[in-house]
Amino acid sequence: MPKVPRIDDIVSEIESGNLPASRLEELSSHRSKRVRAAVAESPSAPDSLVERLASSSDKEVRLAAACNARSRPCIEMALARSEDRSVRAILAHTYAEDALKLALARDVQVILAADEWWEVRGRIAETTNQRDIFEQLMQDEHVRVRGACAENPRLTPKDRATLMADKRKEVRAMTVEAGIGKGPILSNYKAAALDESSDVRWAALEAAGWEGPETVREIAEMLKDDRDMLVRQQAREYLQGK
């Protein structure tokens, strides 16, 4: 009797990238969900196979396929229309690491920017390269979506000022946190340290802490006598050499 291959061995074989499309097609119907998921996320899998697995009845397989959408523009629309909101959210974040260079097709972005789930809209807010879509999301009803706009690498000083003037403190705090490592650093944190919300002032102090001792000391000096006890205490700890 021939030896039945172990699941781990099959998965390793798929991950090697040496299997032909015909073999991947065969394994896409394997009884093991792990095997099917490995096929779905294989760079060697044909676009048509990845698209089919994105509609699998198994969530793990669907998500694996969604993670394999990079540089596969012909399947973007199918994933954008998926009934699984997690698939749509993963698609929306496909180019998050290099959003200045790559982006989803415009018509796909339009669909995701109108998604019913705020997290999908928020992820597109972070990555879109379409100015009209970005401005639409800057006015989204959900605070997390507006705040996510601050993560977009194309954010302008004017955009940042708009977000810092948002009526919701959550948006202002997210904007402060998104500014870590992005200039002009000190002037941004000084403005946030004067915010009416203690949450935003706290965010300014914490974010400044990531920028180095000189920056955090200036912000801590501004907040050492803050009316909020927690902000005041944290500022004094920084000044004491935390």
Q: Tell me: the pLDDT tens digits for 186-222?
A: 888 899 999 999 999 999 999 998 888 888 999 999 9
The helix/strand count (H/E) of the chain reads as 17, 0
Do 10 and 83 lie in one domain? The reply is no
Block residue for tokens 């198994």 = 58
Over residues 94-110, the pLDDT tens digits come to: 998 888 888 999 999 99
pLDDT over 90 percentage in the chain: 82
The reply to whether 170 falls in a domain is no
Do 46 and 80 lie in one domain? The reply is no
Among the candidates 68, 83, 103, a domain finishes at 68
Do 14 and 52 lie in one domain? The reply is yes
DSSP-derived secondary structure letter, 166: -
Q: What are the tokens at 207?
A: 């974010």
DSSP-assigned states of every residue in 57-70: SSHHHHHHHHTT-T
The reply to whether 135 falls in a domain is yes
Do 85 and 50 lie in one domain? The reply is no
Among the candidates 68, 95, 113, a domain finishes at 68
Do 84 and 33 lie in one domain? The reply is no
Task: Say whether pTM exceeds 0.85.
Answer: yes
Tell which residue, 57, 55, 107, 95, has the closest CA to residue 79.
Answer: 55
The reply to whether 21 falls in a domain is yes
DSSP-derived secondary structure letter, 140: -
Over residues 127-161, the pLDDT tens digits come to: 999 999 999 999 999 999 999 999 999 999 899 99
Domain that holds residue 210: 182-242
The reply to whether 175 falls in a domain is no
Distances (CA, A) of 212 to 68, 202, 225, 238: 38, 16, 21, 11
pLDDT of residue 112: 98
Among the candidates 140, 155, 170, a domain finishes at 155
Do 78 and 151 lie in one domain? The reply is yes
Count of domains forming the chain:
3
Do 87 and 146 lie in one domain? The reply is yes
The reply to whether 208 falls in a domain is yes
Please measure the distance between the N-terminal and C-terminal CA atoms of the chain and give it in whole angstroms.
68
The rounded distance, in Å, linking the Cα atoms of 231 and 237 is 10
Do 18 and 83 lie in one domain? The reply is no
Block residue for tokens 């803050």 = 226
The reply to whether 44 falls in a domain is yes
Do 54 and 84 lie in one domain? The reply is no
The reply to whether 132 falls in a domain is yes
The reply to whether 117 falls in a domain is yes
Do 3 and 41 lie in one domain? The reply is yes
